Amino acid sequence: MIIDTRLYLTVIAAMLWSAAAAAQSLHYSEAKALADESERGLGARDMQLLIETQGKFAGATFAQCTRQTGASPSNFTVVVELKADGRVQNSWLQGGTRFAQCFRDRMVSGFSFRPPSVPFFTSFEYTNER
């Protein structure tokens, strides 16, 4: 069977573009549900590693975003979809403050967690109880 290489590459490219477009078109609530599902599927060791990774990231990022924005954090949630190598592929934000936007931007550019499988979504939720 002879396969036209150009046709094969075109089909593969279309499939990849379609998958990327579908992830980007998710609404925040859909992405959050996928994050909850992904996190529930983690084993105890991977869950502990994710919590530690998010904690270290948040500790540094809260200080940076407070300095950068001059604002205190208020309630927000950032959901990210991770690539197989751990880098952020897509993000969603609930809570539109400058601090929350700074946190999301830093999460997109600096958060890394190598998921056990993809697609993998995770969320970081902050609630100010004051």
Max Cα distance, the chain (Å): 68
- Strands 88-94 and 120-126 come out as unpaired
Provide mean pLDDT across the span 46-50.
Answer: 98
- Find the helix or strand (DSSP H, E) in which 48 lies: helix 44-69
Average pLDDT, the chain: 87
Provide mean pLDDT across the span 42-68.
Answer: 97
Q: Is residue 6 part of a domain?
A: no
Q: Is residue 15 part of a domain?
A: no
Structural domain count of the chain:
1
According to DSSP, residue 118 is labeled S
CATH of the domain at 48: 3.30.1150
pLDDT in tens, 9-25: 444 434 444 444 445 68
Q: Is residue 32 part of a domain?
A: yes
| pLDDT interval class at 5 (50, 70, 90) | low
pLDDT in tens, 76-124: 999 999 999 999 999 999 998 999 999 999 999 999 999 999 999 999 9
